[in-house]
Amino acid sequence: MINGIPLSESDKIRFISEDGICILTITDVSRHFDGIVTCQGVNRLGTQNCDAHLKVRVPPAPPHFERPLEDKITQEEQSVVLETEISGFPEPKVSFTIKGKPVVSGENGVEIIDKGNGCYRIEISKASIDLHDGEITCTAFNEHGQAESRARLVVEPVEEASRSAPTFVKDIEDQTVKFGEKAVFETSVRGNPNPEVTWFINGQKLDKFTPGVLIETISITDHKLTLDSTQYAGTILCRAENSVGRYETKAKLTVVSGEKKRAPEFIEKLTDRSVVEQSTTVFEVRIEAQPKADLKWFLNEKELTESERIKIREFDSSWKLEISNLTIEETGTIKCVAENSEGRAESSAHLEVTGKPFAPQFEDRPKNVTVERGQEARFEAHARAIPEPKYQWSIGGRKVKETTEGVKIETVNGVSILIIDTKLFGSSTISVTAENT
């Protein structure tokens, strides 16, 4: 982690762990990596952290607008957002003006949001021709220089006929979360002028300063509320209001106690599969575990990883393994291993991959036999086929049945054998057919 933010491997970040030694390598270091580097070790007995400070020296540079302000056109009482991105070191000081007047965040319906890493956002909740129509200027300066970006904001009057009360295109929905998880409510609302959106929980108004609350405006119409379930539960209300009217949507937040830790258990186990080569098969398991289990799949003890032929999917405690374009050589044992801090479980099944079906083809046909009366006459036949064929013998044109006296049929290693008692049968023509489906 850097400054408490977990890192993941990428082209710039590499992890090495060998014989208890952990190495973090960062290439092309930027100033965003400056701070406290933390290595955290966790097992079932506890957690241990080790910290170090990374100081990144950045070459001095004057301010530069990586993303300048852009012109915007809006209507009165609609919300409008402008964004810009600035580089430079030391970090430039930034100020804004509208129509030549300095902008103070929180005044005249304007909010200036510093998103970090040189990104700034101006949000105007209700655009006004008198206050906001005109040139917006962003000025950035440090000890090495100064830069400006200008944009034109046009605020047009709203035609009376186009005004409309707020309407929720997407209502907020009931949420049930475990204690400690985040609860997220999302909504989409339309109206003209653009409605002002306010959130409440159990009648208490929420704002950006309320602890355990994150209120986000995703777009002009889309809004999002994230709550800390250790602090809140109950009725959530979202109110949208403009000069034409007011509308509300409600939902219930239910917080349940966290589940006790438990080792993985296969609720739905693997089952055997028999498929034809070059086809696709799917194995599925359902697992209960707390904390969530890590899964690995194996075919004949070789671990399977995602590829063009192999897809591994998870949904609501169910896992699926899909293998396409199977070959006969992949016949064997499929195994799924689930593991968490509380234990380990596995489930296995047999995968049978057979050749493509084809009609029977005789390799061995019955041969002429001459015996003395009273001796046994023996005839053999074998046909290649997938699936395995069934044989029907006939004596003198009459089909042999299980109840036919003086006849016995055996199958040895896929070869069908007809044995005739010549005390009951004289010279005859013997025939056999092989069929499959």
Q: Domains in the chain, please, with CATH?
A: 13-54 (no CATH), 61-156 (2.60.40.10), 163-256 (2.60.40.10), 262-354 (2.60.40.10), 358-435 (2.60.40.10)
Question: What is d(CA 263, CA 115) in angstroms, rounded to the nearest whole number?
Answer: 42
- The Cα 33–Cα 55 span in angstroms is 8
Any idea how long the chain is? 437
Q: Residue 258: what pLDDT?
A: 66
At residue 160, the pLDDT reads 64
Q: Tell me how far apart the alpha carbons of residues 379 and 419 are, in angstroms, rounded to a whole number.
A: 7
DSSP E strands: which ranges in 193-245? 196-201, 204-206, 213-217, 222-228, 234-241
- Separation of alpha carbons 310 and 323, rounded Å: 5
Residue 360 preceded by cis peptide, ω within 30: no
Which pTM does this prediction carry? 0.39
Dist. CA 295–CA 289, nearest whole Å: 11
pLDDT at res. 388: 87
Instruction: With CA atoms as reference, report the closest residue to 37 among 45, 26, 28.
Output: 26
End-to-end C-alpha distance for the chain, whole angstroms: 61
Gap between the Cα atoms of 437 and 264, Å rounded: 42
Give the list of residues 6+ apart from residue 355 with CB closer than 8 angstroms, or none.
276, 277, 328, 386
Q: Report how far residue 122's alpha carbon sits from residue 137's, in angstroms, rounded to the nearest whole number.
A: 11
Mean pLDDT for each 10-residue chunk of the chain (437 residues)?
87 82 86 86 80 87 94 87 92 94 92 91 90 94 94 84 85 90 94 90 92 91 93 95 92 83 91 92 92 92 93 87 93 95 93 88 91 91 89 92 90 92 89 91
How far are the Cα atoms of 41, 178, 364 from residue 263, in angstroms, in the given order? 21, 19, 57
Would you list the DSSP string of 68-93? Answer: ----EEEETT--EEEEEEEEEESPPE
CB atoms within 10 A of CB 25: 9
Report the greatest alpha carbon distance in the chain.
124
Rg for the chain, CA atoms, rounded:
38
Strand residues in 341-375 grouped as ranges (E): 343-354, 358-364
Q: What is the DSSP letter of 62?
A: E
Closest C-alpha among 247, 127, 235, 110 to residue 189: 247
Which SS3 state, helix, strand or coil, does residue 132 take?
A: helix
